[in-house]
């Protein structure tokens, strides 16, 4: 196998691992969003609940962190896809 093909194979392996990370992070993000929705329901019933207000604040921070993580992964995926495209054009 030529070095170029090894590089392409390595890029596809990196991409596969990253897609797995994105999938796991998306599942976690959905779980956080579900918790947020539950807290919203609690706040509709009692919008002065200090516990619910604190939980909402905590969840919003988790949502922001999760979103940033997903954005980072998506940028990494785009970079790998670009590298794969360039490598495949050079191979052809």
Q: CA 41, CA 59: separation in Å to the nearest integer?
A: 14
Mean pLDDT of 6-24: 96
- Cα–Cα distance list, 39 to 27, 45, 58 (Å): 19, 10, 11
Which tokens hold the place of 35? 């918790």
Q: Are 19 and 77 in contact (CB under 8 A)?
A: yes
The runs of H, that is alpha helices, within the chain are 3-45, 50-91
pLDDT tens digit string along 43-87?
898 888 888 889 999 999 999 999 999 999 999 999 999 999 999
Q: What is the pTM of this model?
A: 0.85
Token digits of residue 89: 């054009």
């Amino acid at each position: 196998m030529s070095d170029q093909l090894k590089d392409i194979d390595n890029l596809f392996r990196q991409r596969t691992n990253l897609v797995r990370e994105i999938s796991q992070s998306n599942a976690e993000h959905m779980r956080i969003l579900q918790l947020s929705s539950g807290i919203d329901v609690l706040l509709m019933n009692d919008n002065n609940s200090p516990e619910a207000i604190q939980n909402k604040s905590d969840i919003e921070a988790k949502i922001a962190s999760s979103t940033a993580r997903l954005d980072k992964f998506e940028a990494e995926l785009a970079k790998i896809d670009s590298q794969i495209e360039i490598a495949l054009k050079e191979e052809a």
